[in-house]
Amino acid sequence: MARGTIIPIGGAEEKVSDAAILRRFVEICGDDAHIVIIPTASRLEDTGDRYCELFKELGVAEATSINFVERKDCSDEEHLAVLERAEGVFLTGGNQLRLSTTLGGTPVAELLRRRYFNDRLHVAGTSAGAAFLPEHMIAGGAEGGIPRADKVTLAPGLGLTPWAIIDQHFRQRDRMGRLLAALAYNPRPCGIGLDEDTAAVIFPDDTFEVVGSGGITVIDPSEIEYTSMDSSRADYPVTIIGARVHILTDGDVYDIHKHKATPSIRLSRT
């Protein structure tokens, strides 16, 4: 097993003055890396080309955009061959359901999983691309701070990790309630709420480091004693007792399996 690194980004990452998140992805992939951009989630025709230009400006050896518009495109042998030789894959923002309905169950999704788990393929995604990375994907939901059964819609994601469920544009779009609702259904994965211009660099050992100008809200469900999700009406608030919440910023580290947060100032002293 030779797992890669996952980098979910909360959206609206800085691309001009201080592209710290994109630069970190390039550093992880390597100076001579080939990065493939998949703009399937976006309806804008120039999304893939724009990211190609950005990554080339950051010094990658090669950047290629492949837009899988229909499911049949995901069986194209030439596209699969390009993905086989990439060091990194970047999923753009847009609509995560376009990603799951177009890529899910196809040779592209199988290749990404196989190479991530066995061949150190590094995979980043911004906004919709970030939501799609885990096993369970938040497909949609309502804004607000209080969880309700009808506040979140879940769907299968790409399946790169079963240990996290990710929401994006977190503070900007007031999504605490829907992330809590997702965890109340099954309090197994760690909840990761990503602010804009903020990323979690998730390493193969399931620790992650915060990079960017915003914060990450971590919801640790390991000590949840009770939720009323099984008996709550769809439009009623859900009771959740025992969840732990951390707010982490640039340089802080979280260990998903040990349920331990470490601030960057403490890391710098060790």
Which residues participate in catalysis according to the annotation?
Answer: 127, 169, 196
Q: List beta partners, residue 62.
A: 34
Is residue 265 exposed (0-12), middle (13-18) or buried (19+ Cβ within 10 Å)?
A: exposed
Order the strands of the 190-194 sheet from edge to edge.
164-167, 190-194, 216-220, 244-248
CB 130 within 8 A of CB 8: yes
What's at 3, amino acid-wise? R
151 DSSP assignment: G
Q: CA nearest 169: which of 6, 11, 4, 49?
A: 11
Q: List beta partners, residue 153.
A: 140
Counting every residue written for the chain, the total comes to 270
What's at 230, amino acid-wise? D
